[in-house]
Amino acid sequence: MKGKSGRSIAAISDVRAAVSRFCDEQLSRRLDTQPVAEVHQKVSACVQTVDPAMTPYIFGSTAVLGVHEQGSDVDFACLSPTDVQDGKGADAVSEVAKGLQSDFLFRLSEVVKREHYLWGIELVRRTRVPVLRVKGGLGVDSVSFDVTANRRNGVRNSALLRAYFTQCPEARWLSMLVKQWSKRTGLNTSVDGGCITSYGWNIMVVYYLLRRRLVTLVPVESCDVADIAPMPPYMPLETPQQGGQALADMLMDFVRYYLDEFAPETEVMSLTRAAGETTKEMLSWTKQAEDMARIRGEKIHYRWCIEDPYEYDLNVGRNVTPFKLMLLRKHLERAQETALLLLA
């Protein structure tokens, strides 16, 4: 079949069959969050030794999707009682604050080393967010996790995405399909040369859902850490309705939206204002700003703009260079023929 622009488009019956195979395959795996609860306990014990006032909160994919996909890492933010009480507060960005966060993570790394001497540990201080990266255990019992300190934004943005994904039964499936595709195409930063994080892809999914009015706007201020549980409840996934028809339609429409409707020259994917209302102009994400802006020496691009809902003036799509944008378009065109490679 040919689309408006003359490109080949996969037949929707094939897409539905492939989508339904994908879902069955996911559902045949373990998706409950018990393994995460076990890591949470181990990390809590170590945190307790370093500072009994600090509580490790789980965020990232476990919180966003409400399931644990085997092999995906777990994210922890260790928060103080003040961080939690002031659960809508902005995260500190000063070098002093980052230094204090690193100190805590260093002390935590010493305890983790002592308690779990086989786990691999790396403290990454020089990034925008200091993080302790841990690879623990071997084989089926292996766990990898990232720990940050005194940062609420990850907890809040995960709760925000979760609040969207629970509004529409197909949303979590779409997120999982898009994540898998972004990794296979090399567009996901978890792959060498990738340019958009899974977090960025999730914002893109939500922005698409908002644009299509499949979900309603969740005010970003409504996410308050004081109301969020340290361990997010498990939300079992269900087989999509009508043999995956609605999901198949949504998947193809997602690709069409980003290929033919979204206007990267002017528009910003944003969850802060009503969908479609945020422009590059408004945020001063212009060519001139691009020529000036650097984060730790790295150039910031404003070619594919995804506004972070909680960070000030941060483009989650900043690593999309003009060349990567061209690749993104090529992969989207190919996704239209192959239903995100499900038919490739």
Interacting residues with ligand UPU (CB under 6 A)? 59-60, 64, 73, 75, 129, 131, 146, 148, 151, 153-154, 157-158, 197, 199, 316
Residue 268 · residue 288 · CB < 8 Å: no
Q: Which of residues 258-317 bind Mg ion (CB under 5 A)?
A: none
Task: Report the nearest approach of ligand UPU to the CB of residue 309 (Å).
Answer: 9
Which of 284, 283, 324, 282 minimizes the C-alpha distance to 303?
324
182 binds, among Mg ion, ligand UPU, none (CB under 5 to 8 A by kind): none
> Is residue 146 involved in binding Mg ion (CB under 5 A)?
yes
Contact (Cβ atoms closer than 8 angstroms) between residue 84 and residue 229: no
14, 69, 73, 337: which one contacts Mg ion (CB under 5 A)? 73
Site membership for Mg ion, residue 86 (CB under 5 A):
no
Q: How far is the CB of 72 from Mg ion (least distance, A)?
A: 8
Binder of residue 102, out of ligand UPU, Mg ion, none (CB less than 5 to 8 A by kind): none
* Minimum distance, C-beta of residue 154 to ligand UPU, in the bound complex (Å): 4
- Other beta carbons within 10 angstroms of residue 119's beta carbon come to 18
Residues 6+ positions from 121 with CB-CB distance below 8 Å: 109, 112, 113, 132, 133, 134, 135
d(CA 71, CA 140): 9
Closest separation in Å from C-beta 22 to ligand UPU: 22
Residues 69 and 22: their CA atoms lie apart, in Å, by 14
Residues 6+ away with beta carbon under 8 Å from 334: 341, 344
User: Distance (Å, rounded) from C-alpha 269 to C-alpha 267?
Assistant: 7
154 binds, among Mg ion, ligand UPU, none (CB under 5 to 8 A by kind): ligand UPU
Binds 199: which of Mg ion, ligand UPU, none (CB < 5-8 Å by kind): ligand UPU
CB of 36 to ligand UPU, least distance (A): 13
Instruction: Find the helix packing angle between 198-211 and 245-256, rounded to 10°.
Output: 100
Least Cβ distance, residue 38 to ligand UPU (angstroms):
18
Tell me the site size for Mg ion, rule CB under 5 A. Answer: 3
Q: What angle do CA 117, 118, 119 make, to 5 degrees?
A: 95
Q: Which does 59 bind (CB under 5 to 8 A by kind): ligand UPU, Mg ion, none?
A: ligand UPU
The binding site for Mg ion (CB under 5 A) comprises: 73, 75, 146
